Chains A and B, each alone.
Chain A
Amino acid sequence: MTTTLSRLCAGLCACILVSACANAPLPQSKIYVLDDLPDRVSNDATALIAINKIELPDYLNQRKLVLRQLDQQILIANYHIWGDDLPDSIRRVLAHELSNNGQEYRVVNSCSACGELTIRVDHFYPTDSGEAVLAGSYTYSQDEAQIYKQFSFKRILREDGYDEAVYQMRQLLLELSNNIAVSIAEN
């Protein structure tokens, strides 16, 4: 009797546990990167610029894409993920674009006695209204001179989905790099 009862209890627990596996199939996760295919970058420029820091708010400084709704809510996606840390991705994209812009300087991770660029991104996400937004500020310092500028760029999503959003977010970074290049040239 006792043996049968214990077996029955074990079987019941097994069923409960197995039932945990009986779920509906999950959606497939998508992983995104902001980097383009690598281009060949000239190394002839002698002027160096270092990107010191890319600052992001906490809700952006994570691997999942976010969507801003009209009611100021931030929806964090579960199945749409950044392939790399977003600050590193933004750093690489800006370095690539700035180095290719006129090729009067090269962007490096660190250097001494050179121009230093610090960027703070406050908004970098698609919105529920069909836009991709990039806003924040950057500081460029060289010798005793310092430039501080705020930026805010928007692009219209042509299609639904995070695919288009990521594409437009990439274009927003290109606009930011052009803005920074102009500021550096004017200095």
Chain B
Amino acid sequence: MNDDIQGTKPEIKPKSKLSKIWLLPIVALIIGLGMVYNNWKNQGVQIEVSFDNAEGIIAEKTLVKYLDVDIGIVNEVGFGEGRQSIVIGIEIEKEMRDLLTSDSKFWVVKPRIGADGISGLGTVLSGAYITISPGNSETLSTQFPGLNQAPVTSPTADGLFISLTSKGGKPPKVGSPVIYRGFEVGKVEATQFDPRTRTAGFGVFINAPYDTLVTTNTFFWNAGGISVTATAEGIKVDVTTLETLISGGIQFDVPEELSLGEVVAQSHSFTLYDSWDSVQNRREYDYFEYAILVEDSVSGLSKGAPVEYRGIRIGTVESPHLAFDEPVEGEPPQGQDPRIPVIVRIEPGRVYVGKNVDMAAFDAIIKDGITEGMVARIQNANLITGSLKVSLDFVGEPVANVETYGPYPVIPSRRAGLSILTEQLEAVLAKVNQLPLDEILQNADQAITDASGAFDSAQSAFIGIEKSMQELETTLSGFQPDSQIYDSLDETMTEMQNTLRSLQPLINDLSNQPNSLIFGANQPTDVEPTAGGN
């Protein structure tokens, strides 16, 4: 071993300029660069969504999902301009870029309790998350307004969007169902109230294929709550569904008397009626107005009351009375004429249902009827509520011309049967009031007293008669076959018979020998029977 070390010359190698120790950091650098590149390559799309608040949203934790699949994550939560809103920075996976259309909707999914039930229960454990409903737009965007709750209808849903206008009644809420003959075919998407027109507007979406049910002759009415109708046939209670009972709803249909009509286009407008009855009664028709100068009271006559011809509705009361501060041109001011002007609408469409009506021709018919004696009367429509209606009939005298009241042609009026009856009743009561009732009552009282005395006397007599009858019955009962007197009489009669029978021989002897009574009968001894066999 010592010889090997002394005979070898050291080999001198030049020192490498780069130390091997640098391999490690170089490899690390390469790996790091690779990771950076990979990260850069896989980096998602950064978007911003603004919400009213950041409830349930946590940076680097809250996920963004589409169809329950994670597609992104919230990486920043901050205030918006003026600190009036929250801006949330979200990184969406690159592959999901095509979902970020300009009309895409974002909202936070968290536990909610609504009329349609409880949703988002899964987020109780997992935490709230943000979900997206992609739109149809072709342009992409990186900034979106967040919704407070899930949209009623998906932007991509197929169907018909219409608007409804209502002037009253219980308004349906967003999400309330739209029902066609018991089936839910859509939902209320939006509600708003216009202070200027004082009307409520509703955006309604009808899902396909039911959108074809909405035609030009379709009528919409409020279906919420309970409808109670009292008619001559009884009381009818109508509740559509439990959901409509709680949160309201809308129904639609085409009245039977109308044709189906044509399918409407998107964003067509309809009127929302209070109920199905108001669809029947308060449907808007073309009309022309008449005036009726009423001598009776119009208390109970309201706007919208029916105008009927022999029970057939042909119009509606427009104004039950003109205000005193609304003078009609050409007419004396109110107060000088005791009659009350009632303005009515004659609506030919109610008679010619579903048909084209010649308004001028119908107007001429009405005027001809007036000249032939057609008059209007205010009559009771409902004895319970006291509501009135206008009834037209040919019960008046023919007139030469149709009078006018300002711009309105006048239908002559006649007092109704009830008012005439009232007047007659008042006359009768006046006559009754003039009768000497006190004297009559005194005489009647005296007659009653006399009759009462006579009745008492009769009653006493009856009591006496009854008592006599009882005594007679008692007496007669004493002579019944089983009574003692009867038995005594019977016994006495029997004794008499026996006595007479006993006297019979004596009588015979006396008849044969009368002196036997004194000198005795010559009676021989008896012949007695003899023993048998003799």
Interface residues of A, Cβ cutoff 8 Å to B: 17, 20, 23, 26-27, 58, 61-64, 67, 75-80, 85, 126-131, 156-162, 164-165
The stretch of B144-152, B386-394, B439-447, B521-529 that contacts the partner chain: B521-529
Q: In the complex where A62-B504, A162-B528 touch, is A130 in contact with B523 (Cβ < 8 A)?
A: no
CB distance from A85 to the nearest CB of B (A): 6
Q: 11 A-B residue contacts at CB 8 Å? A: A62-B504, A67-B526, A67-B529, A77-B526, A77-B527, A128-B530, A131-B532, A158-B532, A159-B531, A160-B528, A161-B528
Is residue B232 contacting chain A, with contact meaning CB distance below 8 A?
Answer: no
Residue of A nearest to B526 (CB): A77
Q: In the complex where A78-B523, A85-B498 touch, is A156 in contact with B532 (Cβ < 8 A)?
A: yes
CB distance from B530 to the nearest CB of A (A): 5
- Complex CA gap A127/B529 in Å reads 6
Are A27 and B525 in contact (CB-based, < 8 A)? Answer: yes
Are B526 and A130 in contact (CB-based, < 8 A)? Answer: no
Are B502 and A164 in contact (CB-based, < 8 A)? Answer: no
- Complex CA gap A64/B501 in Å reads 11
Interface residues of B, Cβ cutoff 8 Å to A: 498, 501-502, 504-505, 518-520, 523-534
Are A79 and B529 in contact (CB-based, < 8 A)? Answer: no
Collect the chain B residues with CB atoms within 8 Å of residue A63's CB: 502
Are A79 and B530 in contact (CB-based, < 8 A)? Answer: no
Collect the chain B residues with CB atoms within 8 Å of residue A85's CB: 498
Collect the chain B residues with CB atoms within 8 Å of residue A161's CB: 528-529
Are B498 and A67 in contact (CB-based, < 8 A)? Answer: no
Q: In the complex where A26-B523, A62-B502, A85-B498 touch, is A129 in contact with B528 (Cβ < 8 A)?
A: no
Are A160 and B519 in contact (CB-based, < 8 A)? Answer: no
Collect the chain A residues with CB atoms within 8 Å of residue B526's CB: 27, 67, 75, 77-80, 162
Collect the chain B residues with CB atoms within 8 Å of residue A130's CB: 529-534
Q: In the complex where A62-B502, A62-B504, A76-B505 touch, is A160 in contact with B530 (Cβ < 8 A)?
A: yes
Q: In the complex where A20-B518, A26-B523, A27-B525 touch, is A157 in contact with B498 (Cβ < 8 A)?
A: no
Residue of B498, B518, B525, B531 near A164 (CB, 8 A) is: B531
Collect the chain B residues with CB atoms within 8 Å of residue A162's CB: 526, 528-529
Are A79 and B525 in contact (CB-based, < 8 A)? Answer: yes
Collect the chain B residues with CB atoms within 8 Å of residue A75's CB: 526-527
- Complex CA gap A126/B528 in Å reads 9
- Complex CA gap A126/B534 in Å reads 14
Residue of A61, A126, A131, A156 near B501 (CB, 8 A) is: A61
CB distance from A52 to the nearest CB of B (A): 14
Collect the chain A residues with CB atoms within 8 Å of residue B520's CB: 20, 23
- Complex CA gap A64/B528 in Å reads 13
CB distance from B491 to the nearest CB of A (A): 12
Most chain A C-beta atoms within 10 Å of own C-beta, residue among B505, B519, B531, B532:
B532
Are A126 and B531 in contact (CB-based, < 8 A)? Answer: no
Collect the chain B residues with CB atoms within 8 Å of residue A129's CB: 532
- Complex CA gap A162/B531 in Å reads 10
